[in-house]
């Protein structure tokens, strides 16, 4: 199945450096693996758990052979018991450890919602700050090759609604490493949602450990005509669309939110204050998803800047179909962004 062997031979868009051929490039999975390796090295409290973290697949390579280096006490396979294991991770965190619990797909988190939402995300508040829960949950969105309804859900729209839970969706190799290291260092529960398509990329990744701040977005491309807000692999898609528009003399500003909660409201509002036009792109469902919140934020706090309706580009509001002809209709990409942008800008 092609989706099990994503080749990371495409360079991500060149956001960081103009034309340096000598930069250190890692694949997306190597970037995360390096973060894990360094976290395990630097902090004895860190450990990795998850179904298959010590197997040859190693979560898309992100945990490859770390059990050999750090031992099977610190990098271990788990039973398929997502609810209890999330609670066990939570308990371990309360007891002073820093678990990182890997899941292949967010779909399986539905089994863990009670421990994640009712417990981990509330513990600090519920006890008036007496106990905090430094856990990281990681899951990678499936897509394509008939992954279908139960293996391809992009659930950031749900998790963005949960107080007490930080929510991260990186789009570059640099951030995948830096945000993972920040998440592990954070004293709160953090959920990282990755996207399989990001794993095609190679990108600039410094070797030394570094942290990318949680809660801060970044502008991937400056622009004055329209603002694109996106996350994860939709940033790449938005960037592609923006480059396309550039050719026509239209400058879209592309914001990579990186964190959905806490949300970087300022970066969005500042951009919209300049462009007056907003398009939000997500790889999850539209209704009640992250595009809704970002739109509502601007309709509430940036209304005066708006020159046109806010458009949302997101997946169809149906369970993911398996057939490829239907997948084509279900998923959105740079073309949809382009079309919606043209509508907002009223070109053609």
Partner 1 sequence: MTMNLKKYPHKLLVKLYFDMLRINKVQLHIESLYHLDEMKTPIHLSIGQEAIAVGVCANLRQNDYISSSHRGHGHYLAKGGDLKRLIAELYCRETGCSKGRGGSMHLVDTSVGHMGSSSIVGGGIPIGTGLGLATQMKAEDRVSVIFFSDGAADEGALYESINFAILKKLPVIFVYENNQFAVCSHVSARQAGEIIFHKTPHDAMPSQAVNGNSVMDVYEATKQAVMRARQKSGPSFIECKTYRVRGHAGAGSDEKLGYRTAEEIREWEAKCPVRAFSEILLRDGVLNETEIQIMEETIDCEIDEAFRFAQRSPLPKPEDVTKYLFCD
Ligand X SMILES: Cc1ncc(C[n+]2csc(CCOP(=O)(O)OP(=O)(O)O)c2C)c(N)n1
Residue 316 Cβ vs partner 1, minimum distance, rounded to whole Å? 6
Span 68-97, contacts to partner 1 by CB under 8 A: 73-74, 77-81, 83-97
91 binds, among a second copy, ligand X, partner 1, none (CB under 5 to 8 A by kind): partner 1
By CB under 8 A, is residue 288 in contact with partner 1?
A: no
The region of 29-37, 104-112, 201-209, 272-280 touching partner 1 under the rule CB under 8 A is 104-112
DSSP of 256-314: E--EEETT-HHHHHHHHHHH--EEEEEEEESTTSHHHHHHHHHHHHSGGG--S--EEEE
Task: Give the DSSP H or E segment for 26.
Answer: strand 25-27
Q: Would you count residue 115 as binding partner 1 (CB under 8 A)?
A: yes
**Is 306 among the residues that bind a second copy (CB under 8 A)?**
yes
DSSP 182: H
Q: How far apart are CA 35 and CA 80, in angstroms?
A: 25
- Least distance in angstroms from the C-beta of 101 to ligand X: 12
> Which residue sits closest to ligand X, CB atoms considered?
108
Q: List the catalytic residues.
A: 82, 151
Nearer to ligand X, 55 or 328 (CB): 55
Q: How many helices (H) and strands (E) would you count in the chain?
A: 12, 15
Alpha-carbon distance of 328 to 323, in angstroms, equals 9
CA distance 293 to 315: 16
Per-residue x/- mask for partner 1, residues 118 to 157, rule CB under 8 A? Answer: xx---xxxxxxxxxx------------xxxxxxx------
- Counting contacts by CB under 8 A, is residue 288 touching a second copy? yes
Instruction: Based on the shown chain and the rule CB under 8 A, indicate whether residue 209 belongs to the binding site for partner 1.
Output: no
Q: 129 burial class (0-12, 13-18, 19+ CB within 10 angstroms)?
A: exposed
- # residues contacting partner 1 (CB under 8 A): 76
269 binds a second copy (CB under 8 A): no
Give the separation between CA 277 and CA 343, rounded to whole angstroms: 11
């Amino acid at each position: 199945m092609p989706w099990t062997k994503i080749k990371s031979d495409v360079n991500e868009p060149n956001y960081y450096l103009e034309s340096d051929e000598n930069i250190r490039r890692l694949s997306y999975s190597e970037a995360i693996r390096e973060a894990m390796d360094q976290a395990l090295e630097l902090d004895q409290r860190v450990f990795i758990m998850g179904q298959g973290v010590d197997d040859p697949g190693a979560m898309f390579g992100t945990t490859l052979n770390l059990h050999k280096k750090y031992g099977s006490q610190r990098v271990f396979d788990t039973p398929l018991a997502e609810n209890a294991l999330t609670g066990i991770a939570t308990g371990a965190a309360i007891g002073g450890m820093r678990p990182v619990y890997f899941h292949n797909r967010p779909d399986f988190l539905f089994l863990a919602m009670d421990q994640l939402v009712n417990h981990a995300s509330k513990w600090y508040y519920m006890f008036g700050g007496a106990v905090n829960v430094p856990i990281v949950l990681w899951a990678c969105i499936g897509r394509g090759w008939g992954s279908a309804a139960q293996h391809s859900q992009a659930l950031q729209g749900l998790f963005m609604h949960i107080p007490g839970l930080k929510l991260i969706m990186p789009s570059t190799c640099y951030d995948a490493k830096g945000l993972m290291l920040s998440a592990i260092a954070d004293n709160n529960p953090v959920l990282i949602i990755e996207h399989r398509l990001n794993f095609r990329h190679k990108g600039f990744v410094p070797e030394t450990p570094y942290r990318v701040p949680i809660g801060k977005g970044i502008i991937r491309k400056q622009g004055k005509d329209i603002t694109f807000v996106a996350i994860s692999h939709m940033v790449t898609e938005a960037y592609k669309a923006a480059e396309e528009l550039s050719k026509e003399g239209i400058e879209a500003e592309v914001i990579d939110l990186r964190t959905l909660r806490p949300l970087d409201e300022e970066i969005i509002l500042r951009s919209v204050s300049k462009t007056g036009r907003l398009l939000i792109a997500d790889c999850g469902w539209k209704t009640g998803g992250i595009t809704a919140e970002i739109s509502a934020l601007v309709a509430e706090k940036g209304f005066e800047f708006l020159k046109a309706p806010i458009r949302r580009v997101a997946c169809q509001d149906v369970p993911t179909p398996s057939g490829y002809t239907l997948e084509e209709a279900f998923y959105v990409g740079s073309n949809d962004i382009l079309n919606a942008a043209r509508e907002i800008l009223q070109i053609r």
